[in-house]
Structure 1
């Protein structure tokens, strides 16, 4: 079991760009849809033009969640996404099939930690950062990493969660809704002012998974944070994850 406090948050999705919009959405959730893209004014234009839509969303949420110290502090960052910018990887594979030369820039920006690196460079962040993926338990894995960093002495850890739709060729493998969205949480040790959360886990009785609902799990967890619901349970691959409030 781990416990921590969420001292602040920021999020971006099509049609949900303001904090009050997210609070209303938590009371009556819906699947975000639309073609919008964050302006990302915090990043210089020459760097911004290299960032695809998913990266802009993730970096925008991270920028909005910076505290008064800004990004150039030693606050560790955990970037998490089930699939990352897989659309860019598919473009590279298409170039290979067509026997076309690969773009070195495109290749460099297709790796899973590319968005985290772009944020670090653009904002002058000097702290530790990592990028991870853990299937349907990606958000739990990210929070476990953050809890470990807090236990090692970090005063705060920022978790950035971001997702996008799978390319059509992979649509048959989609096991939950997959809209564009990104959120960032500022995590601090349990007892810090904020929203106290507890995560416990245990083996599930079977190897099935929670039936897909209206929202992907990571976005549903953000809804849970903003709502007054006491608990949220998620079962995947033989593991039961139990979220609750404390403090």
Structure 2
């Protein structure tokens, strides 16, 4: 079991661009859809043009959540699929016997978005990019809790994903949506709402989620005020609890 406090949060998805909209969504959730892209006004236009939509979503929420004068805070960027659309571009080029774009390759790797954010912010601290299948949120929280246990005062946690390309539709095992959200996490009891996360072996039939991807269901729980949530993912039952 791990515990932590969430000192700040932000989120972005098509049609959900401010806190009031997200709180209303948590009370009556729906699957975000659309091609909207965050403005990302914090980034100069020349640099912004290099960032694809998924990166803009993730980086926008990170900018909103990290205080302007924060420096050196560890970063955990987590996405189940990453920028798979860029990977598809590379595969299509190879299939057509065309030379793949070096820029596309460089920005397709899983840590590219975290690296871009660290460059934009001139961050020189630790950053991690991970994927944990359906349980990516929980894997990221365990990583963040480990960093706090090692002495970090806060950790910036960014969760993000985009719809899969159509060619992968038959492999999807949960609803598809483009979204990003960010928590600024500190040790439990840091004067902010606290949460506990425990896990146990999976029990078939429990923890099913209908209508939302796993990552958005965790955010819905966070915003809803509910006391507990149980989700299945990657062979485990993940039990979230809001501390009174």
* TM value normalised by structure 1: 0.96
SS of 1:31's partner is: coil
Question: Which residue number corresponds to residue 102 of structure 1?
Answer: 100
Choose which of 232, 239, 243 in structure 2 pairs with 1:242.
239
Q: Which runs of 4+ in 1 moved over 4 A?
A: none
Provide Cα deviations, 1:35-63, integer angstroms capped at 9, x if missing partner.
21001011111111010000000000000
Please say if residues 209 and 238 of structure 1, whose CA atoms lie closer than 8 Å, have aligned partners that are also in contact.
Answer: no
Deviation at 1:237, TM superposition (A): 3.5
Preserved CA contact (<8 Å) 2:133 2:234: no
Q: How does 1:1-247 map to 2 (within 5 A)?
A: 1-70=1-70, 73-206=71-204, 210-247=207-244
1:90-109 Cα offsets, whole Å, 9 max, x none, are: 01110111111111111000
Q: Is the 8 A contact 2:74 2:126 kept in 1?
A: yes
**Number of residues paired by the alignment?**
244
Instruction: Say whether the 8 Å CA contact 1:209–1:236 is kept in structure 2.
Output: no
What TM-score does the superposition give when structure 2 sets the normalisation length? 0.97
Question: Partners in 1 of 2:203 and 2:217 — Cα distance?
Answer: 23
Any gaps of 5 or more consecutive residues in structure 1?
A: none
Quote how far apart the aligned CAs of 1:68 are: 4.4
Tell me, yes or no, if the aligned pair for 1:4 and 1:190 is still in contact at 8 Å: yes
Question: Aligned partners of 2:3 and 2:160: how far apart in 1?
Answer: 22
1:210 Cα offset (Å): 4.2
- RMSD of aligned residue pairs (Cα, Å): 1.3
Deviation of 1:236 (Å):
2.3
